[in-house]
Amino acid sequence: MTNWVDVAAMTDFPPGSVRSVDVDGTQVAVFNLDGVCYAIEDTCPHDGGILTGGAVEDDEVVCPRHGARFCIRTGKVLAPPAYEDVAVFPVRIEAGVLQVRDAREEDSAS
């Protein structure tokens, strides 16, 4: 089972915050949208650029390199030049700390 990785104390991660964290070798972008936290892979599948530097509009992040758009809640690609979704990661709050983990291998083994 993959371990949970601490991102930040919730008191240090207010709405509108974005952070990139390494989870078992994968860069994950964590967003606080109006008090609800979401985590997606921090790599645009179009050319490998990071997403955390991109504009956040409602529940979408815009890749800063070429403008592809992704839904932060679902990881779905919403606009080219990307055509593949990004992975979504589970998040939780444990003792006031926001945590994320990579459950992809566990999900594929089920």
Domains and CATH numbers, the chain: 5-101 (2.102.10.10)
Look up residue 109 and give its two tokens. Answer: 């083994």
pLDDT above 70: percentage of residues in the chain: 93
pLDDT exceeds 90 at position 69: yes
Q: What pLDDT sits at residue 108?
A: 55
Which stretches does DSSP call E strand in 4-83? 5-9, 18-23, 26-33, 36-41, 56-57, 60-62, 69-71, 77-79
Residue 103 pLDDT level (bands cut at 50, 70, 90): confident
Q: What pLDDT sits at residue 17?
A: 95
pLDDT exceeds 90 at position 105: no
- Tell me what the mean pLDDT of segment 1-21 comes to: 91
